[in-house]
Amino acid sequence: MNGHERDDWGCDPSVRATRRLFARMESRQKELLKQLKIPPYDTRLRLCREDARDLFERMLSLPAVRGRGRDEEDAAALYIHCLIRALKQHGLPVPAGSAPEDTTVEELFREALT
């Protein structure tokens, strides 16, 4: 894009909110991978990210999540829980305590996976 073109999409409040959410999710993901000492370009992460995204999207569609008015931080935290679950399912090391215990999220997992 040259200096004369505008980002019309960037003027839309919902697009700006989505961009902020994705930036928050990416930042939280980088922090987690650093904490777990997993290189960000580890080839095993591709499937983990896909599974986490699929689960995250399923959870966002649940009435219990939609009705809560979750903000960007809540949504990013929810994605991190999904990513941790995917990392574990694919055999990557995730020590206990890597994410705070959240019984609500566990209930949402059960609902999303049934």
The pLDDT assigned to 51 comes to 96
Instruction: Please give the model's pTM, rounded to 2 decimal places.
Output: 0.80
Confidence of residue 114 (pLDDT cuts 50, 70, 90): confident
Which of 52, 43, 31, 44 is CA-nearest to residue 90? Answer: 44
Residue for token digits 């580890």? 42
The pLDDT assigned to 7 comes to 65
The pLDDT assigned to 84 comes to 93
Cα–Cα distances in angstroms (integers) from residue 65 to residues 56, 71, 94, 106, in the given order: 11, 11, 25, 12
User: Each residue of 16-60: pLDDT tens digit?
Assistant: 888 888 899 999 999 999 999 999 889 999 999 999 999 999 888
Q: What is the DSSP letter of 48?
A: H
User: Each residue of 65-110: pLDDT tens digit?
Assistant: 765 556 777 888 889 999 999 999 999 989 888 877 777 777 777 7
